[in-house]
Amino acid sequence: MVLQGLKAMLAPYRGRVRVVGDAPNGDDAVNLVVTLEPDIVLCDVRLHGTSGLDLCRRLLKRSPGLRVVLLSVYEDEQYLFEALRAGACGYLVKRIDGEELVRSLERAAEGEIVIDPALAGRAVGTAARLVSGDYWPGVRHGLTHRESEVLSLVVSGLSNRGIAARLVLGDETIKSHLRSIYRKLNVNDRAGAVAAALREGIFR
């Protein structure tokens, strides 16, 4: 549905942008990029079986000159920072309209970094606070504010259900946050996350 929606959105701009292929998952995307050699890959941050961030890294490893623009529902500057660290040349939010999307793709093709304007403004403030050291624990490891809260409760020994109750969130949401935390800290489980948090001085 998302793929068809994007293609329909871009269809009126055939003179400016051409869709040469589409893929429903990461493996197909890698194969298509190798075969078709597109100028730009427009990639959803959330993909079946993987994440757009991981796919971005895989694509750039295979095709270093490729331009990757990520499209996301997440209006969180930490996702933006992680996207840029992964090598993406753009991070756009899904409220974008067709004209804005095409203009952003054109700018990306010309070598610019394209960021959702509202998100870019917040990111500048976040970057300034990062430099001054005035931010939440774990931010330097790419953790969002909510992920930092979840990790602190994990370190405190709370179960998933206990964390969900404390933060008034659903169990699946907590599991999603934990998966993201494990990936960012490069660990496989709860014990590894606690060890990394203490070793790195995220919480003392």
More confident residue, 129 or 35: 35
Residue 107 has pLDDT above 90, yes or no: yes
Contact 166, 158 (CB under 8 A): yes
Domain 136-199: CATH architecture, name and number where available: Orthogonal Bundle (1.10)
Whether residue 94 is predicted with pLDDT greater than 90 in this model: the reply is: no
Q: What is the pLDDT of residue 127?
A: 54
Task: For residue 41, give both structure tokens.
Answer: 């890959």
pLDDT value at 128 more than 70: no
CATH 1.10.3720.10, domain 2-122, yes or no: no
Q: Residue 1: pLDDT band by 50, 70, 90 thresholds? A: confident
Residues of the chain with CATH 3.40.50.2300: 2-122
**In this predicted structure, what is the pLDDT of residue 118?**
77
Domain with CATH 1.10.10.10 in the chain: 136-199
- Residue 86: pLDDT band (50, 70, 90) is confident
Nearest to 182 by CA among 141, 130, 135: 141
Tell me the average pLDDT of the chain. Answer: 85
Q: For residue 16, give the DSSP letter.
A: T
The pairs formed by 194-200 with CB atoms below 8 angstroms and a separation of 24 or more are: 194/154, 194/155, 197/138, 197/151, 197/154, 197/155, 198/155, 200/141
Whose tokens are 């010309």? That residue is: 110
pLDDT in tens, 110-126: 999 898 887 776 665 55
Does 182 have pLDDT greater than 70? Answer: yes
Note the pLDDT of residue 137: 72
pLDDT higher than 90, residue 179: yes
Q: Is the pLDDT confidence value at 35 over 80?
A: yes
pLDDT at 125: 56
- C-alpha 194: how far from its chain's center? 23
What is the b/e burial string over 140-167, where b = at least 16 CB atoms within 10 angstroms of the residue's CB? Answer: ebbbbebbbbbbbbbbeebebeebbeeb
Percent of the residues in the chain that have a pLDDT greater than 70, as a whole number: 90
For 24, 96, 167, 185, the CA distances from 157, given in Å and listed in that order, are 39, 41, 15, 18
